[in-house]
Amino acid sequence: MVVLGSKELSLEEVHRVLFNGEELSLDTAALQQVEENFKFLQQFSARKLIYGINTGFGPMAQYRISENDTHQLQYNLIRSHSSGAGNYLNPVLTKGLMIARLSSFMQAHSGVHPELVILLKDLINKNVSPCVYEHGGVGASGDLVQLAHLALVLIGEGEVVYEGKLRPTAEVYAELGLQPIGVHVREGLAVINGTSTMTGIGLVNIIQAKKLLGWSLILSSMINEIVEAFDDHLSAELNAVKKHAGQNKVAAAMRDILKDSKMVRHRPDHFYKELEEEIFKDKVQEYYSLRCVPQVLGPVYDTLVHAEQIVVQELNSVSDNPVVDHHQQNVFHGGNFHGDYISLEMDKVKIAITKLSMLSERQLNYLMNDKLNHKFPPFMNLGKLGLNFGMQGIQFTATSTVAENQTLSFPMYVHSIPNNNDNQDIVSMGTNSALLTQKVIENTFEVLAIQVMTMLQAVDYLNCQDKLSSFSHLIYQEVRAIFPKFIQDSPKYKDAKRIKEYLMQHEPKVKI
């Protein structure tokens, strides 16, 4: 059970709720603060002009709303902004956004009735996923459109995904004994006026991006192993003279993976002695995609560390406007709905993971091209050259997918388009950034799956299983169980999908 409200949520706790099926509970003292905050706003807002309670919204805030219409105002806001398009979000992303929205409310600065946080908690725990669409929000004044679809479900309307089926919300509520919330003061605006969609997607992105980094470390170690690379480019001595934490952590993790390998070579044994040759058959130094892994993946590591810090800070923040402060007995108007922090970090993560996919593609190409490796048959073809094709066909998939990543990596953070009668004159596009990052991450799992397939074929070609490090040998055995060695040509799309799912579902057991 993960308790919400007693302390800040961590990414690890979010991971447990999203992927391990743990439930959320609400801290009693924090819930009491939510109630006190609500009662304060209810009393404070009488006979005062407060945005979104007795005014219109956005550029229509100059219009006063009569007391008789204030409740209808909130329903009108929810229904009018439930205008998303495209595909609806994967339920794990929707669960992430609900956790993020609930976390913001549990800070007790939104003036919402406690029934709202209780229903949100119940939807999360019962795996009821509101139908939230990809397209809509511009990431300032909150993820308005996406969160309006969440609000629509909270008032008992719209659709949800439950037990894998798209169903009317009211029908599922009746089945589970849930009651929709009512509007008390500002529940409509409170739900939609925050960064929780981009934050929820961002949390999932960082969890999966860290997994990709772990797998890339493993595969980068294994390729150095099977091509019998030299060990000094991973040495503590070489990397210590560069002061970047990520580079040194990557190199240390790779050394740990390869510590008992019988294939990686020690340079002094081969070159640090008197030599008579004028031209060396062995490459004195490996290609960059093998030799420079700490320098390439190090920045990816550092980027993910910083992105996690920022996204977790946003998770534990109040993203709303106005902010209701019952301790100071005041309501503060501002821009805590703005998503620039998440938008910028998602762009960074997207670029970093694209670079990781590029490293994978170059390592894959090295294994495929016999003119580069001078060790393996073309396209890792274990059959008859000319008649069989090996991994030739599926390499095209990896190359085209990396090319898509490169195009998707254009930053959204600098792509603001004013809208809302220019009231929203500079926006974050944070949800777009988070969704593009999610696509790049999924693409990269596909690329790494193809790299894994090729690497295992290389191991079987060399018949070097017993020379692999114990870590590499374990990976070889686990993946070979779902992808047997092949010689004759056969369709590979199902194999690639199985391995992609394996990589996404299994935590890489690498220390970094």
Q: Which residue stretches of 68-143 are H helix?
A: 70-81, 91-105, 114-125
CB 353, CB 437: distance < 8 Å: yes
51 is annotated as an active-site residue: yes
Beta-bridge partners for 230: 265
CB 183, CB 324: distance < 8 Å: no
Residues 203 and 58: their CA atoms lie apart, in Å, by: 29
Task: Give the residue from 430, 460, 450 showing the smallest Cα distance to 499.
Answer: 450
Residues 138 and 360: their CA atoms lie apart, in Å, by: 33
CB 159, CB 167: distance < 8 Å: yes
Count of C-beta atoms within a 10 Å radius of residue 324: 25
| Two structure tokens written together for 337 | 């709905």
Count of C-beta atoms within a 10 Å radius of residue 364: 28
Helix or strand run (H / E) with residue 134? strand 133-135
Would you give the DSSP letter of residue 59? Answer: G
Task: Give the residue from 19, 13, 41 showing the smallest Cα distance to 105.
Answer: 41
The answer for 52, left when phi > 0, alpha when psi is -120 to 50, beta otherwise, is: left
**Catalytic position from the list 51, 272, 461, 493:** 51
- The catalytic residue positions are 51
